[in-house]
Amino acid sequence: MSSDAEGSGNDVPVHYMTGFELVQPVVESPKQVGVRGGRSASSYEWSSRAGHQDKQTGDYARATTKHAFSSGDTFKERSTGRVGYKDEHKETTTIRVGNKGGYSEYQVQERLRTVTYGEGSGRNGKGYNSNSLTQKKY
């Protein structure tokens, strides 16, 4: 089998795909993390996969997507000391194409985080004031 890269001076493997075999998504049930600060915290994780493998040549292609969602976790901002609750969604997609000689992998990760600060969070239980760092009491 000749590849498009032959004769061009490139040693890049060329992969051919003939189709995908669909696989049922792997789904995990929600996991209850617990109650923190009067709010319930929970997390959910699930993933799905699809792939194809040519048993004669050893060529394969796989696509995997993983989702993770967490809600109600305590979050503390390092610079100001403010305390709040975060909700986060993370999605990771991985595509791998290869053969017996090696593989190429492409991965994309996206994350969305929302933090909600309550009143009275910050230094000494008072609302954070940026001027408090420069004020001096004598």
Q: Write down the residue that tokens 């040549």 correspond to.
A: 57
Predicted model pTM: 0.55
Residue 25 · residue 46 · CB < 8 Å = yes
Most confident of 1-15, 57-71, 116-130: 57-71
Buried b or exposed e, range 21-38, using 16+ CB within 10 angstroms = eeeeeeeeeeeeeeeeee
- Whole-number Å distance between alpha carbons of 74 and 32: 15
pLDDT digits 0-9 by tens, 89-137:
999 999 999 999 999 999 999 999 998 987 654 555 454 444 444 444 5
Q: Which of 71, 69, 70, 67 is nearest to 27 (CA)?
A: 67
Q: Using 50, 70 and 90 to split pLDDT, how confident is the model at 62?
A: very high
